[in-house]
């Protein structure tokens, strides 16, 4: 794992631990980050089995080329740089947002558990996974992979997509990183709904 230097703290939110990792990108991640820790693990007795970073109660703003592009919220953030393969662990849940140049949210992801394999630039999201794209469409599944090298998001599990006028369900899913062009490999149903029913559904499924 490459070490990119010390973080700049921009603002203190929630657990007094907002970290800005200069030049590190969360959605297009470079491999490392360091920061101040609210709570650290015990003394190192076996370096290979312990995380280099153990941070709790985090709300982090991340900049790319000096512009804030990402926000991450998690209760626990562990970085295992000497595991094979090395990875980042978010075993108590994660919420991610990506901003455009005007600080508008381009995408958001929420998952019960997440792992990021930095060498492969691969995310694995599991549990209750919820995504919202720019068009306001909502995606729900139990397992999702995000291959940043290929620019693809995919799953072989059941998926539910809420669109403005209908709900689509099926198994097997492939998409681009923006979740704007996608296909369901095995569609199971399309359910058209009126505005009132859809509004109630969107409120129930809200990930904000």
Residue 27, SS3? coil
Mean per-residue pLDDT, 108-119 = 95
pLDDT tens digits along 76-89:
999 999 999 999 99
Mean per-residue pLDDT, 192-202 = 63
pLDDT tens digits along 120-166:
999 999 999 999 888 889 999 999 999 999 999 999 999 999 999 99
pLDDT > 90 fraction of the chain, expressed in percent and rounded: 49
Query: What would the two tokens of residue 130 be?
Result: 């919820």
Is the pLDDT at 15 greater than 60? The verdict is no
Mean per-residue pLDDT, 3-12 = 33
Q: Which uninterrupted H or E stretch holds 185? A: strand 182-192
For the chain, the structural domain boundaries read 1-120, 133-208
As a whole number, the mean pLDDT across the chain is 77
* Residues in Cβ contact with 36 at an 8 Å cutoff, skipping those fewer than 6 apart: 7, 9, 17, 19
DSSP string, the chain: -------B-----TTT---B-TT--STT--S------SS-----S-GGGS-SEEEEEEEEEEEETTEEEEEEEEEEEEEESSSSS-EEEETT-EEEEEE-TTS-EEEEEEESEEEEETTTTEEEEEEEEEEE-TT--EEEEEEEEEETTTTEEEEEEEEEEE-SSEEEEEEEEEEETTSSSEEEEEEEEEEE--HHHHHHHHHHT---
């Amino acid at each position: 794992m490459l070490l990119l230097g010390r973080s700049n703290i921009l603002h203190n939110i929630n657990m007094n631990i907002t970290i800005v990792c200069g030049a590190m990108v969360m959605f297009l991640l470079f491999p490392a980050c360091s920061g101040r820790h609210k709570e650290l693990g015990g003394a190192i007795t076996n370096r290979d089995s312990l995380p280099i970073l153990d941070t709790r109660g985090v709300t982090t703003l991340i900049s790319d080329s000096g512009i804030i592009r990402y926000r991450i919220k998690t209760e626990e953030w562990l970085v295992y740089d000497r595991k094979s393969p090395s990875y980042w662990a978010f075993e108590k849940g994660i919420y991610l947002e990506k901003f455009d140049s005007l600080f508008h949210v381009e995408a958001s992801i929420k998952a019960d558990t997440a792992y990021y394999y930095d060498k492969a630039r691969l995310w694995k999201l599991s549990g209750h996974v919820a995504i919202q794209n720019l068009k306001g469409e909502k995606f729900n599944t139990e397992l999702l992979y995000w291959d940043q090298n290929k620019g693809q998001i995919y799953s072989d599990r059941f998926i539910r997509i809420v669109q403005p006028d209908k709900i689509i369900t099926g198994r097997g899913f492939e998409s681009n990183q923006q979740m704007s062009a996608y296909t369901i490999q095995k569609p199971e149903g399309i359910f058209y709904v009126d505005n009132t029913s859809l509004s109630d559904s969107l409120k129930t499924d809200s990930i904000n």
